[in-house]
Amino acid sequence: MGRKALLGVCLAFVFALGAILVGTLPAGAKQLEIAVMVPNGVDPYFTAKRYGYETECEKLGVKMLFLDAGGYANVNKQIGQIEDMLQRGVDGIILGATSAQGTVPVVDKVIDKGMPLVIDNLDSLTKKPVLRIMKNGVLVGLLRAVYIVEQLKGKGTVLVLPGPSAVSLCQEEHRGFVEYAKHFPGIKVITEWTPSSPDAGMKTVEGVMQAHPDLKAIACFSPPLSTGAVKAVQASGVKKGDIIIVGQMLDAGMEEYMKNGWLQATVMCDHIEMAREAVRMLVKEIKGELKPPLYNQIDHYLVTEGTLEQFDRKGSTYPKEWRK
């Protein structure tokens, strides 16, 4: 092939490629920018979800800003972050709220300004129309209660660690547990509201074990609380399995605890796929393809020592080489 002919082929390829690119990104179109806001980024649950947010944003060509409030108690910090995003003029927000009640005024402000918003899992109790993708907290609590009551044959003292009391999901999980357990008079429920951290879980369980040496089971809201509960039971010298522990997710060593007999069951959901769907919902809202209100509720599963190896976790795990 001659030089002129080769040059012609190259130019034709460049023009064709340019036509394709122009077709996918019209002239003048800007890249969408969204903010993903979480209450407690060190929680392994949010580490996993960040993978879901990032991969879906990459797939859709969306720029993502990830903002962590640094703990459920930092309501004012999260309010400030939301105000900053309003000032910045991002195209939309995905929000996991630090407080169901405390965030309502700023969430109402976001909605009133017409900024697209998806509340992801941790609710802000605004009465204005909004898109939500949520776990079924009552069902999560009930699944734990059913397993524990069955294992204890309807009799025994149970500690419930629902997490922070200001979080609506924690309230729902607690309600699901106690509503089921109250039908079994032989089950004594002790509730301790705590921050979602290993230290809080460990200290609380140690104190309850001292006050209630007849403790037979522990139900935990999160991987950090589950970790703390396991460590407290291990340190007490109690044999594995003598105190039943039911946690949440398989992150942060939960799977190893289960394989080694320290964690008897856990409640799962496809939380990474949930994060991806939150991104898809927000992008559709930005484009005018999805209008609030909408309440999208996901499924949950109880995984036990006996079913761990058979559980399909493709929607709830991320590659080991990915860490944030």
1 pLDDT more than 80: no
Of 174, 235, 178, the C-alpha closest to 203 is: 235
- Residue boundaries of the structural domains of the chain: 33-135+271-299, 137-268
Q: How many C-beta atoms lie closer than 10 Å to residue 263's C-beta?
A: 29
5 pLDDT more than 50: no
- How far apart (Å, rounded) are the C-alpha atoms in residues 247 and 226? 5
- Determine if the peptide bond prior to 198 is cis (ω within 30°): no
Q: Could you tell me which residue, 24 or 287, shows the higher pLDDT?
A: 287
End-to-end CA distance of the chain: 51
Give the pLDDT band of residue 324 (cuts 50, 70, 90).
Answer: low
Q: What is the CATH number of domain 33-135+271-299?
A: 3.40.50.2300
Of 30, 172, 34, the C-alpha closest to 110 is: 34
Supply the pLDDT for residue 10: 41
% of the chain surpassing 70 pLDDT: 90
Question: What tens digit of pLDDT does each residue of 71-108 get?
Answer: 999 999 999 999 999 999 999 999 999 999 999 999 99
Domains 33-135+271-299 and 137-268 share a fold: yes
56 pLDDT more than 50: yes
Q: Could you tell me which residue, 158 or 313, shows the higher pLDDT?
A: 158
Stretch 162-167: mean pLDDT: 94
Q: Could you tell me which residues come within 8 angstroms of residue 30 by beta carbon, excluding any fewer than 6 positions away? A: none
252 pLDDT more than 80: no
Mean of per-residue pLDDT scores for the chain: 91
- What does each C-alpha distance from 150 to 147, 188, 292 come to in angstroms? 5, 14, 41
25 pLDDT more than 80: no
The pTM (predicted TM-score) of the whole model is 0.84
Q: Which fold has domain 137-268?
A: Rossmann fold (3.40.50)
Q: Cα 102 vs. chain centroid, distance in angstroms?
A: 19
- How far apart (Å, rounded) are the C-alpha atoms in residues 221 and 164? 9
9 pLDDT more than 60: no
Stretch 162-172: mean pLDDT: 94
Give the pLDDT band of residue 285 (cuts 50, 70, 90).
Answer: very high
Beta bridge partners of 132: 119, 295
Of 211, 296, 302, 198, the C-alpha closest to 248 is: 302
Q: What is the CA radius of gyration of the chain?
A: 23
